[in-house]
Structure 1
Amino acid sequence: MPSYQPPLRDMQFLLHEVFEVTQEFQAMPRHAEVDADTINAVLEEAGKFAADVVFPLNISGDEQGCTLDRDTHAVTTPEGFKQAYAQYVEGGWAALSCDPEYGGQGLPFVVNQCLYEMLNSANQAWTMYPGLSHGAYEALHTHGTEAQKQLYLPKLTSGEWTGTMCLTEAHCGTDLGLLRTKAEPLPDGSYKLTGNKIFISAGEHDFTENIVHLVLARLPDAPAGSKGISLFVVPKFLVNADGSLGERNPIFCGGLEHKMGIHGNATAQLNLDGAVGTLVGQPHKGLAAMFVMMNAARLGVGNQSLGLTEVAFQNALAYAKDRLQMRSLSGTKAKDKPADPIIVHPDVRRMLLTAKAYAEGGRALSTFCAVLIDKELHHPDEKVRKDSAELVALLTPVVKAFLTDNGWTATTLSQQVYGGHGYIKEWGMEQFVRDARINMIYEGTNGVQALDLLGRKVLGNQGASLKKFGKLVARLVEEEGVNEKMAEFINPIALLGEQMTKFTTEIGFKGMQNPDEVGAASVDYLRVAGHLVFGYLFARMAQVALRAIAAGNSDPFYLAKLQTARFYFAKLFPETATLMRTARAGSRVLMDSDAALA
């Protein structure tokens, strides 16, 4: 059976020593009084909830899955899931970073991200229920009418109701311009929606008495394509003006998907048979409103893989210390035992350190982005808000794709550490692998994220956003460039930073002549960008660790941080050289392949 220990020390290291969040908060009136003790206390309790309440339901939830009563359209979640959610609501966790105007606690978003990492480690399938609700809250908070906010946000904030995002249709995934769901105006200003949605995570369940669906649909006069999409809020039960529940809205679960993983989450097929909804935002501007939720979901999916990377690594490490197999190549290490523990073998350490590096780098990136979001939302300086928003937009596809690719690698390697036992269900490792696989697919496949990064976020503004991040790298290089102890961390990112400019320009010029060149290079490009970001963050972590050691701090945590950073730069970061070479191979070898793919 697997186990889980919340990584509180590493979270505190990032929050207080690397990013110094309380100093950042002092510049934001809303968060000025949030101190380190408050953050630590909240995260300690969050860790207890994740480890003690949610984690024990992970394997049983996977085994039981969700069941649909086709006569009533009701879905029953695995045993204990509903009760755990009730504890989640009672503990106030749903309201942690929500607006106090609607009953929220108003804590910084970065604290909420740490909570969700731990919940994802504990049980990704369960965590998707409240996670999607937070995205629905954000979309309505940003684009909803005052009436919609008053009607829905207090219930979403408290967790009394949950939310979903209903985009995908059977013929229409990423290309939302193809969707067919219709919305017809009614005399009272509401709309009647008809159509079918698939792959709706948490689309039906028994956690709450109402579910708030955010649904993309077309108005009768809608132009073709993505410019003709509108967004509607469609509750499971209609809501009266006083907030009480009215009659059942005809949006029903017609089936549950049979999936490779995340069995404990109800991935629903939803049928809208004249369901009543209200318009969110402007007509035909639904994608802009939904992108608030979609971008939140993309950051959330990266966080899901981060959580799985951490829990898989923890268990693989414990197993490697205990499992006896063969003797060390450099001589017996455990003389009192018939064989050495497998952690003495170089390749086992390679697998463990890869997972550890991807967990620590992913946590640093997730935390970095969360602090930027807090600044984007609440910093009084307009330029700081704008710059933070631009960096978050640039990094969102990196978080989604790089962390989920790395999560798949890390969970698979952690499973490999177990040998044959990793393939056996009782150890729990194969579930982490299965659950991690979906994260590379939904909320826009990683290939789509790569196109978004290179085509829109980088080339779309002539590299302006990339240059903003490049200035952060250059500032660190300038600060530590003459420090010999930092050379092994600084020199690689300084070189890649210089190469990135030429690399990007080259692809941009080729793309102007043939757009397929951008598509051919984009996936490799995103991984190069991901390593540049990870390299920058590992260098910052190493900087803090070296300063702590120089000041006489003997905590082995800092030495461990340096050793992980050295492994990352020696064994993982060099992947960038190969990636730039394959990206430069161009589109011809892909597109001139009709005979090979006949």
Structure 2
Amino acid sequence: MPYTAPIAEQRFVLDVIADLPGLAAHAAYANASADMVTAILDEAAKLAQNEFAPLNRVGDTVPVVLADGVVTLPPGFAAAYAKYVEGGWAGLGVAEAHGGQGLPFAVSVAVQEQLTSANMAFALCMMLSQGAIEALAAHASPELQAEYLSKLVTGEWTGTMNLTEPQAGSDVGALTSRAEPHADGSYRLKGTKIYITWGEHDAAANIVHLVLARLPDAPPGTRGISLFIVPKFLRDGTRNDVRCVGLEHKLGIHASPTCTMSFGDHEACVGYLVGAEGAGMRAMFTMMNNARVQVGLQGVAIAEAATQHALDYAQNRTQSARFGHGGKAVRIIEHADVRRTLMTARALTQATRALVYLNAAAVDRAHVGHAEGQGLADLLTPISKAFATDIGVEVASMALQVFGGMGFVEETGAAQYLRDARIAPIYEGTNGIQALDLVGRKLGMDGGAHWKTLLADVRTTVAELQSHAELSTMAPWLEDALAAAETTTHWLATTNDPDDKAAGATPYLRLMGLMLGGWLLARQAQAAAAMLGRGEGDPKFLNAKISTARFYAEQLLPQATALAGPVMRGAALLYAIPEDVLAA
């Protein structure tokens, strides 16, 4: 079933949740007029639907090939990438000072959603490049920006992020890759990096690797890490001493080359320092935070594509009479349980989209100097990354369930969404690490000012719902979820036992994600009701918005309330069974 970009939904969320008109009022985002954004989404949809989506199944079934250090992509990928470059899409959210189009991150996120829904494995290439652009724009010298950033912004070159080593996964401070200063001001790198997404391919003329390594006299841990540019091809056109020496055979995203990269096999790997010595993690976190929002977006994108796929099947598959009605067989979309599955998938997809777009808009506001925007972005990023990617997996599984036994058969394509989605809760910091970051760092920032402001905003929405006749039925459910969020947040903020905090982190993040999703859908229902009252917009679309918000509130929000107990139960029960008994 062909993918169709949900442009009307994206525009609505950009306006109501991301407050695109407010963003466009800033000089930095003046190009983001309503007409311009609509035109961009329309054109991006053509690229996603006509170029990326037809390659999705191809990339799943035709493997990438490594030979003599060169990775060859499946048929059609290089040509599709050339069209992406031709359209100028790589510079969409980049400041005009760096050669970009100066549009908000929130708009580029909407475009990236379309590309990812169409072909997640392919869109990873663009995602990594966007992160590299962000890091170099913030931390590289003007000279390096002129040479490398400019080519990344056009899309002529692609970028990667090289952190993980065989002995240093999530513990980045344990990395051992080395960088030796050279007389000409460059460095010579040596080491091995694993799980490098799009580390080698034949779609672009050059690949700009951003590599974390240690200088000879660097202190241990993360304080001793520096960041380097290591290009695939050097300034004189010769091949640098960096090679892909292996490809991972993965559960999903088969068309995305996941590489083992070897630097300095011949002691001649040239690199250039980005930022100050020992400041590598600060620079890399710029790239990682961008990537974490974008990975959360992958959960949204896969959920959208999988839901569309399941809906199409449910509308066309005839089987069994309706329960208790007898008579002839009906299309399965008429069965209550299938309807519940589809409504759940729809509501969760729209809730997570709103969460990620809100996060992206907070990043935009931080870029123009809003302290509140930075605080909100910091708070939301681990929630967006973890909650949205968990939802991506769950919705992909729900969509497969709609297909029944046919969903378990590869030819229907339902299984690919589930296989592709499963990596997202793992990379860019596992979801458990995101939960620990939320409770261990983000809740305490600025004395808790940011979560207090956010929960107060939700409280305001509850009060508005209570006074709205049509929407008031949502208020009790959101109020209960908010009360659970307030209680657990205060408990985590005041509990001194780190084990108890760690034990409650994952259910707490889930609780917050569910609650915020209900809040953001309620806000959209408010906007939809107001538009209906003024006789504006498409009544079918707007009424569906209200019904989706009500379904989420009544059917899904009660789960948030139930999570309060697990958050505050403490760690003791997690360790109650001795390790040797667990292993027995």
TM class, shorter-length: over 0.9
Judge which range, 405-414 or 462-471, deviates more. Answer: 462-471
Question: 1:433 maps to what in 2?
Answer: 418
- Please tell me the residue identity of whatever aligns with 1:322: N
1:145-156 equivalences under 5 Å are: 145-156=141-152
Aligned partners of 2:107, 2:31: CA distance in 1, in Å? 14
Deviations 1:94-130 (A, max 9, x none): 1212122232122222211111000000000111112
SS of corresponding position for 1:439: coil
Q: Higher mean Cα deviation, 532-541 or 430-439? A: 532-541
The root-mean-square deviation of aligned C-alpha atoms, in Å, is 1.6
TM-score norm. by structure 2 comes to 0.96
Q: How many angstroms apart in 1 are the aligned matches of 2:39 and 2:461?
A: 32
Q: Which moved more, 1:48-57 or 1:553-562?
A: 553-562
Within 1, Cα distance between the matches of 2:461 and 2:440? 27
Secondary structure at the residue paired with 1:189?
A: coil
Q: Which residue of the partner structure matches residue 194 of structure 1?
A: 190
2:403 aligned residue: 418
Give the alignment partner of residue 276 of structure 2, picking from 282, 300, 304.
Answer: 282
- Give 5+ residue unaligned stretches, structure 1: 240-244
- Residue 135 of structure 1 corresponds to 131
Match of residue 39 from structure 2 = 41
Contact 2:218 2:278 in 1 (8 A): yes
Match of 2:539 in 1: 555
Query: Helix, strand or coil for the counterpart of 2:277?
Result: coil
2:303 alignment counterpart: 309
Out of 326, 351, 362, the residue aligned to residue 372 of structure 1 is 362
Is contact 1:65-1:265 (8 Å) kept?
A: no
Residue in structure 2 matching 1:361, options 328, 345, 351:
351
Corresponding position of 1:348: 338
What code does the residue aligned with 1:68 have?
L
Q: After superposing the two structures, state which structure 1 stretch, 154-163 or 566-575, moved more.
A: 566-575
Look up the match of 2:175. Answer: 179
Is 1:527 equivalent to 2:520 in the alignment?
no
**Structure 1 segments of 4 or more deviating over 6 A?**
none
Q: Does 1:269 align with 2:253?
A: no
2:448 aligned with 1:463 = yes
Change (3 A) 1:464 1:82: same
Query: SS at the partner of 1:270?
Result: strand
Could you report, residue by residue, the CA deviation over 1:322-367 in whole angstroms, capped at 9, with x for unpaired residues? 11111112425xx7xx411111222111211111111111111122
Cα separation, 2, equivalents of 1:25 and 1:353: 33
Alignment of 1:217 with 2:213, yes or no, is yes
Answer whether contact 2:485 2:564 (CA < 8 A) is retained: no
Tell me whether 293-302 or 486-495 shows the greater mean CA deviation.
Answer: 486-495
Q: Structure 1 residues 509, 592: CA separation in 2 closer, same or farther (over 3 Å shift)?
A: farther
Q: Separation in 2 of the partners of 1:578 and 1:312?
A: 28
- Is 1:116 aligned with 2:101? no
Q: Residues 462 and 20 of structure 1: is their aligned pair in 2 closer, same or farther, counting only changes over 3 Å?
A: closer
Structure 1 residue aligned with 2:561? 577
Given the superposition, is the C-alpha separation of residues 398 and 18 from structure 1 closer, same or farther in structure 2, using an over 3 Å criterion? closer
Q: What displacement does 1:490 show?
A: 3.0
Aligned to 2:320: 326
| 1:229–1:286 contact (8 Å) kept in structure 2 | yes
Instruction: Determine the C-alpha separation between the residues in 1 that align with 2:44 and 2:198.
Output: 22
SS in structure 2 at match of 1:247: coil
TM-score by length of 1: 0.94
Q: Offset at 1:17?
A: 4.5
Amino acid corresponding to residue 357 of structure 1 in structure 2 = A
**Distance in 2 separating the partners of 1:17 and 1:503:** 28
Structure 1 residue 487 displacement after superposition: 1.9
Higher mean C-alpha displacement, 262-271 vs 274-283: 274-283
Pair 1:394–1:563, CA change in 2 (3 A):
same
Count of aligned residue pairs for this structure pair:
578
